[in-house]
A and B are shown apart, each in its own frame.
Chain A
């Protein structure tokens, strides 16, 4: 064990305090990068470290908070290598030359890693792997130059934190400490809370975690209490010197060193093992804190034994109150889903996710395995897309190890992993990944000898898996046993064996369990009847996590009733909130669609063209289904849909119809097209496309709402749209245009700062594909501006793009 970790086990350990305000007092100019002082003023930096060591700090943070490749690159005034090397040298000098207080040993050096100052994709413009690389560069230099540990601090985004932790662990053997910045409500800036953060960091295997910056010690007490309830590793608290206010251009804090120290004593007594300061704190703050706290008894957090997974925003605990895992993101037996995967139709998958969330799922299973697709890429992409719009934890479900690892790496949290089993080869492949990335892993109670027929056999396999996992340092709490649900129509004792296994894992092994509940009814009619009854029995026998279809009303009824009857639903409030508004509907088995994606008002009959003109999705769907009984698809498209769309489009141009209505009509038409498309596919006819158009938001620009509006309309008018997304480099647009021989490209840019990328894209298109027409749009563009940068057409709105496209492709015919 690293020496610093041994120290933490023996006594309270102290960090140093703030740097910024002390450097300003020494003459650091506003806007000047503090890290440059490692090279420009090594004496001042060394003295600062030494002052802290002499005040009693055990660990000094190197002056590298903002040292990253974005600010320090080859060709800049100072490069990264130079700045970080100098920072470590200053720290080492201080450690060697300090006159330590009586009883203090030589200080330790923490390589300090602050946030990049960029928001990660998809909401920002920094890719996860880019962030990882930036942190890795600093870590490699830091370890080489003598750091004793890595401190990742002031993090406010779980995803960036994960990139930094992976960088530290994969590029050094140093202990890793992480502190994040919570607001007074206990939230990270990107939405995570204490529980989700602790789950992520413990899963990643950091050595200590905690909080810094943002608040003073008094405001941090409540957050520390919340951390102590869930944490199993040593906790760090490095607060600011109180709350800041601005006085004559200077920042001052509301408590002094003595008050700070008094509050820190309470924090140490609450259970923090490592304490120090952040913004506004000085050697005096640390000296007073050390004096008050150094002899306090050490109390390491107890092991909490919680089975917990997390998303970027929330943690889900798997304990006596069962959780629901939505099973619908899975192509098995679903021809539409398979087609969506082949067509790379992620929207379909996202809708499945949102529907399950709206219907009460706590976790979503994600399985995208299909022989003819590149599963690792698809898995990583689907995980990325789902976690950008849904805040539920995900269960990564694949037997492809590469897909598993890629998904675990890009996942923003601590995932559920589906699955490992008792086979030696599988355990040896999966457990190292669980150790590296963190996660709770589903363990199927089967091995080389197949599926044990008895509960005895399954319990034996479960024990074997627990033991093997322990060899990798994976605790029992991070494994949930799949008791295996066999179809009852082929083995009439199958259900009883499964139920016995559930019970015994809970009672004899003290473990958690999971089941794919719907398997029970394969081959039987009215499967939901058996599924729901078996589900209730499984819950009664201790099932902790159920993989089910949350869109099935029968299953949800079992779930809500069980919780109420098993004293898991105080005052029956969960049950009442779901069912009090419903009239008796026992005949009905499946819930309607989704609440948050509804298509407006429903009920009553209406013609297709009227439903489209009014933007009523559900009615358009109903009307087209009705019409298809009598009319040919093309008659419907040309006779009702196109005229309706044209009418709305004209209204938009005349200023009588507004953008939201235009889009609602487009969405209603799209819903109708989907029905027609299916009908045509049944008849073996594919809908004819008018032409292919590339759409892209240019490099540097991440606002793509305008482009997406154009896409919706063009698709409705029968064009095949290749949507390259946002922040797209010119090269990619040119390459796609050439490869697919596309005749029309639409580009959008929001800001004056990104129009040059648009101009560059047009220039490259002219050279490589002179036959391509380019239409442009976006907030800052005008007719004249569009001409200047060489576009063929300026489109002031989405209808203008449709009109231009119609003209271009008619001329080509």
Chain B
């Protein structure tokens, strides 16, 4: 997995600035430790999808209401529920440096975020190719909490995918995922080719986000 140094610096607030030598060394150190500590895992399942009136969406295994997501899933007949995590080992590292060296903790945090995004992209790319062989096309990955897609759907997705026992993602009472470097998402499947962005960031409606890529 090739983790983008530019993405890590973006998460650290550098924008397009190059970091100085010390920071870039720290980034490399973090990547080395992360690769050793991470054990990336993902799971996905496919369900029939129905778009209902008033922006309601029926995923077969649960229903929700979201205007942004309804638009994202236009023309889709099926949907992939997807979850991925870097595993608890990464949280141990983050915890360790939070206790001992905050500069490394924030850098590790950024590197781990870049890593889980890259891992999701890779897994999604595989799915995309698999479906394109059957002339089906995937829509951009869309996660609970993006735009008006309710965070509560986190519960449904993790339950349906049995993430606690399959890949180890569990929710806290306030719907935070543990391990912290985890992603849940849905991806529409359509017979119609359509601009398919693998990236998640641009598809979010929160245009004023400090970390927005575009």
A residues engaging B (CB < 8 A)? 30-31, 114-115, 117-119, 122-125, 154, 156, 181, 183, 185, 187, 189-191, 213-214, 246, 248-249, 251, 346-347, 350-351, 354, 385, 388-391, 596-597, 600-601, 614-616, 658-661, 663-664, 666-667, 700-705, 708-709, 712, 750-754, 757
Contacts and interface: CB of A to CB of B under 8 A. Distances in A.
8 contacts: A31-B62, A123-B91, A248-B48, A661-B23, A661-B103, A701-B174, A751-B175, A753-B175
Given A708-B98, A757-B174, 7 more contacts: A125-B178, A248-B48, A389-B99, A664-B23, A664-B103, A667-B101, A754-B174
Contact of A389 (B17, B92, B159): B92
B1 interface: no
Interface stretch (B105-113, B116-124, B135-143, B185-193): B105-113
A795 to B, nearest CB: 14
Contacts of B173: 125, 700
Contacts of B107: 660
Interface of B: 12-14, 17, 19-23, 25-26, 33, 39, 41, 44-48, 60-62, 87-89, 91-92, 94-96, 98-103, 105-107, 109, 151, 156, 159-160, 164-168, 170, 172-176, 178-180
Given A191-B89, A615-B103, A702 B165 contact: no
A658 B17 contact: yes
Contacts of B170: 117-119, 124
B175 to A, nearest CB: 5
Contacts of B105: 705, 708
A700 B174 CA distance: 6
Contacts of B88: 119, 123, 189-191
Contacts of B94: 705
Given A249-B45, A249-B46, A708 B174 contact: no
B100 A614 contact: no
B176 A705 contact: no
Nearest to B175: A753
Given A118-B170, A189-B88, A658-B23, A31 B156 contact: yes
Given A667-B102, A712-B102, A705 B109 contact: yes
Given A187-B39, A389-B99, A117 B164 contact: yes
Chain A residues touching B, majority SS: loop
Contacts of B26: 660, 664
Nearest to A125: B172
Contact of A123 (B13, B21, B25, B178): B178
Given A347-B100, A709-B102, A751-B174, A600 B91 contact: no
A753 B165 contact: no
Given A190-B88, A347-B100, A664 B22 contact: yes
Contact of A31 (B92, B159, B172, B176): B159
Given A658-B23, A660-B26, A661-B23, A667 B92 contact: no
Contact of A701 (B89, B92, B101, B176): B176
A243 B160 CA distance: 18
Nearest to B165: A154
B96 A389 contact: yes
Contacts of B46: 246, 248-249
A124 B17 contact: no
By Cβ-Cβ distance, the 9 closest A-B pairs, closest first, are A189-B168, A663-B103, A700-B174, A389-B96, A30-B61, A246-B45, A119-B178, A125-B172, A753-B174
A438 B95 CA distance: 27
B23 A213 contact: no
A30 B160 contact: yes
A186 B99 CA distance: 30
Given A118-B172, A700-B174, A705 B91 contact: no
Given A246-B44, A615-B22, A659-B12, A30 B62 contact: yes
B161 to A, nearest CB: 10
Contacts of A597: 100-101
A659 B13 contact: yes
A119 B105 CA distance: 21
Nearest to B158: A117
B95 A388 contact: yes
B32 to A, nearest CB: 10
Contacts of A31: 61-62, 156, 159-160
A753 B170 CA distance: 16
Nearest to B103: A663
A246 B14 CA distance: 42
A125 B91 CA distance: 13
B106 A123 contact: no
Contacts of A708: 98, 102, 105
Contacts of B180: 703
B174 A658 contact: no
A389 B89 CA distance: 10
Nearest to A615: B22
A708 B106 CA distance: 10
